[in-house]
Each structure stands twice: as structure tokens, then as C-alpha cells.
């Protein structure tokens, strides 16, 4: 990390705090209220939450701003995980005795529909002296500070990587303390990141290939399950943002359960379904058979194989002689899926900030 660059921005932040004292006081009070709210959910209180209390707990997260319909997200969490299982895993994540690396990896493996931004925000607001809030803005900030080993995509963010990011956050916190800034919690570090380190040039070049290849991007983890689940969940999000009814792990025909579906009803004519299968490991023949079976459902109008570039070429070779599949099978590079999700996430966040539709409408 470029400590001289960090020191320069901390000095500027300190000047801003003095210059905008009323706003600074308001933000400090806001942080205290957020921390008090999330710390109020002890392990026992999390385990006893009702569906309505869970909605309030989740809907207040900044990571939920991209969703106009927050109830939809909570309903999907409950549908995919079950209330009791979700509460148990959430309690273990927030209040467990294991190292954060193990708690993070367990939660990511077991719970569908909650990504690093939501998970880290809960941890940061509950334990503001320990855990960093990680999202796109934090990535932009730390890349600007020339921090090595940053995870470019969610699937790269294992428990070990998250612990490393928290250590970086602690380093920033210590530098803020040396500059005599009053609040140096990790939540305050997040406010500092938003105030000082959202460099416009970095933001505008998020998808620049040269930037991606030259930047300090972490290697993909050895285990591919995170990648599979992240791509699967993002396919569902993309479909939802495009106006489809989107679901994950759906049975669409006898012998065919697929990773994601987009569904639309056309007037009184019936349903149209698009099927997505994510391939990160396993048999290509099994993928092809599963997609072929899915076409037994007459509502399925197209099927999409999602994988890396090399794997997609192998899938194409296997599928070219499969009558009934080859003409309907499409191919989508998972990196393009991730970038599409980022772009739509940004669009939805901007639109929802306009508050054109009241919450709960």
C-alpha cells in the first residue's frame, strides 16, 4: 500500500471533518446508531427473529439499495435457505467462536443469495473494530492505494482473503488514529473511503481490460464452488433486473434440475423459459444431457451454457452433433456475466436512489 498517498488523503479528510463539522457530527451519530442497532441483535435475538424482524435486519443494509423491492430479496433468502437454517448460520457467522476465515467460508458455502457486500456490512456494523465493509467502492479505493492481492470478483473473496482485507482496513484505521481523527472504527474507515478515495478515473475504468490485467488481481481460489454459486446467483439477479421471474436450482423437466431460469408469461399465451447451466467442474456430457432433458419442457425456448472461454469451446465441440440441442444452445463467458451484473447493479443503484417508487409500493 502506498502509505504516503494514504497519509495525504487522511490529512485531507481531517481538514474536511473540521470544515464540515456539522455534517461530520451527523455522520458520526449515524454510525453510532447503525452500530447500536446491529449490536442489539445478540446471538439469541438472531435465533429468535421472526420473518418481519429478519426483513428489517436485512433491508437496512446499504447493499440492499440496488433493490427497489427489498421484500423480494428477503423472500428469496427464505425460499432458498429456510428461516431457521438462515438464522442459525447468521448467528454462527456474527457471534461464532471460530476464526473469521472459517465462519466466512462456511456461511458463503451454506447460504444462497447473500454476497460479500451484505455479509461484510453485517460484520462491520456489528463488530466495527474488527471487520471491513467490502464492496465495489472499497475495491476502487484500495486499488487506488496500490494494495496488492485484491479480489476482483466475489468468488475470489474467500475467508482468508477477507481476513487479509480486514488487516488492510486495520492499517488504515491506525493511520487515522495517528492523525488524531476521533472515530477510527472500520465503519469510519468506510466513510473515509467514500469521502476521499472514490477517484473518478478509477471508477470510470472499472471494466477496462488493460486495467484488469495490469492491476493486482487475486488468483482464483483452488476450490471452484464459490465461482459456481456466485455466477448462478448473479444470473438470477440479472434476470430479475431485466423483468423476468428468475430462480435458481429449478426442476424444469423430468431428470433436469438447472442452475438458473428466467421465466416470463406472455399474456394468455403461456410461459417462456430460458435455462442456464454453470459449468466450473464435472462432466461436460452430464451438462449436455441435463440441458437436452430440459428441452422436454415445451416452455423452454433457449438454453445457455455458462463457463470460461476454454471450457465453452469444449462444450461447443461436444454439442455440435447433438440434434435438438445444438440450435438452441447459447454460450456465455462467466466473466461477461460478472461484468454484466456489475453494470446492472450500478444502474439499479442510481435509479433506486431517485426514489421514484416509494418503498413497499
User: Both 207 and 72 in a single domain?
Assistant: yes
Q: State residue 228's pLDDT score.
A: 87
Q: State residue 253's pLDDT score.
A: 83
β-strand partners of 272: 264
Q: Which three cell numbers stand for residue 36?
A: 447500536
User: Which domain-ending residue is among 194, 214, 234?
Assistant: 214
Q: State residue 67's pLDDT score.
A: 84
Q: Are 274 and 293 in contact (CB under 8 A)?
A: no
Any domain includes 282: yes
Backbone angles phi, psi at 323, to 5 degrees: -65, 135
How many percent of the chain have pLDDT more than 90? Answer: 62
Least confident of 25-39, 83-97, 290-304: 290-304
Binning pLDDT at 50, 70 and 90, where does residue 358 land?
A: low
User: Both 139 and 240 in a single domain?
Assistant: no
User: Which domain-ending residue is among 214, 233, 268?
Assistant: 214
Distance spanning both ends of the chain, measured CA to CA: 46
Question: E strands within the chain?
Answer: 245-253, 256-266, 270-278, 300-307, 329-333
User: Both 127 and 269 in a single domain?
Assistant: no
Least confident of 100-109, 250-259, 299-308: 250-259
User: Both 176 and 248 in a single domain?
Assistant: no
Any domain includes 59: yes
Based on the structure, what is the number of domains in the chain? 2
User: Both 8 and 35 in a single domain?
Assistant: yes
Average pLDDT of every residue of the chain? 88
Residue from 293, 296, 361, 305 nearest 332 by CA? 305
Averaged pLDDT, 276-288? 87
Look at residue 223 and tell me whether its pLDDT is greater than 70.
no
Backbone angles phi, psi at 51, to 5 degrees: -60, -40
DSSP state of 65: G
User: Both 191 and 95 in a single domain?
Assistant: yes
Averaged pLDDT, 266-287? 85
Averaged pLDDT, 158-176? 96
User: Both 62 and 111 in a single domain?
Assistant: yes
Averaged pLDDT, 322-329? 85
Least confident of 8-22, 28-42, 119-133, 249-263: 249-263
pTM over 0.85, yes/no: no
Q: Which residues constitute the domain of residue 161?
A: 3-214
Amino acid at each position: 500500500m502506498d502509505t504516503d498517498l494514504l497519509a495525504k488523503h487522511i490529512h485531507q479528510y481531517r481538514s474536511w471533518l473540521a470544515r464540515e463539522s456539522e455534517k461530520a457530527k451527523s455522520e458520526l451519530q449515524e454510525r453510532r446508531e447503525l452500530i447500536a442497532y446491529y449490536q442489539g441483535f445478540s446471538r439469541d435475538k438472531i435465533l429468535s427473529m421472526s420473518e418481519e424482524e429478519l426483513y428489517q435486519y436485512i433491508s437496512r443494509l446499504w447493499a440492499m439499495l440496488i433493490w427497489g423491492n427489498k421484500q423480494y430479496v428477503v423472500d428469496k433468502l427464505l425460499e432458498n435457505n429456510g428461516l431457521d437454517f438462515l438464522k442459525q448460520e447468521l448467528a454462527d457467522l456474527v457471534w461464532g467462536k471460530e476464526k473469521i476465515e472459517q465462519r466466512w467460508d462456511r456461511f458463503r458455502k451454506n447460504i444462497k443469495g447473500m454476497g460479500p457486500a451484505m455479509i461484510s456490512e453485517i460484520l462491520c456494523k456489528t463488530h466495527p473494530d474488527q471487520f471491513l465493509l467490502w464492496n465495489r467502492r472499497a475495491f476502487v479505493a484500495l486499488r487506488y492505494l496500490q494494495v496488492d492481492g485484491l479480489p476482483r470478483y466475489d468468488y475470489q473473496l474467500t475467508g482468508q482473503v477477507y481476513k487479509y482485507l480486514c488487516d488492510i482496513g486495520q492499517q488504515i484505521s491506525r493511520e487515522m488514529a495517528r492523525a488524531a481523527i476521533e472515530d477510527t472504527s472500520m465503519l469510519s474507515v468506510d466513510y473515509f473511503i467514500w469521502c476521499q478515495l472514490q477517484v473518478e478515473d478509477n471508477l470510470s475504468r472499472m471494466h477496462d481490460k488493460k486495467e484488469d490485467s495490469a492491476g493486482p488481481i487475486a488468483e482464483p481460489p483452488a476450490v471452484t464452488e464459490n465461482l459456481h454459486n456466485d455466477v448462478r446467483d448473479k444470473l438470477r439477479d440479472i434476470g430479475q433486473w431485466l423483468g423476468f421471474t428468475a430462480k435458481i436450482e429449478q426442476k424444469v423437466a423430468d431428470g433436469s434440475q438447472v442452475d438458473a431460469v428466467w421465466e416470463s408469461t406472455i399474456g394468455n399465451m403461456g410461459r417462456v423459459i430460458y435455462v442456464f447451466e454453470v459449468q466450473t467442474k464435472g462432466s461436460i456430457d452430464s451438462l449436455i444431457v441435463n440441458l437436452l432433458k430440459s428441452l422436454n419442457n415445451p416452455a423452454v425456448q433457449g438454453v445457455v451454457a455458462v463457463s470460461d472461454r476454454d471450457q465453452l469451446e469444449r462444450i461447443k465441440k461436444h454439442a455440435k452433433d447433438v440434434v435438438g440441442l445444438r440450435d438452441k444452445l447459447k454460450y456465455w463467458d462467466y466473466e461477461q456475466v460478472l461484468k454484466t451484473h456489475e453494470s446492472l447493479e450500478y444502474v439499479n443503484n442510481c435509479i433506486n436512489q431517485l426514489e421514484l417508487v416509494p418503498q413497499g409500493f
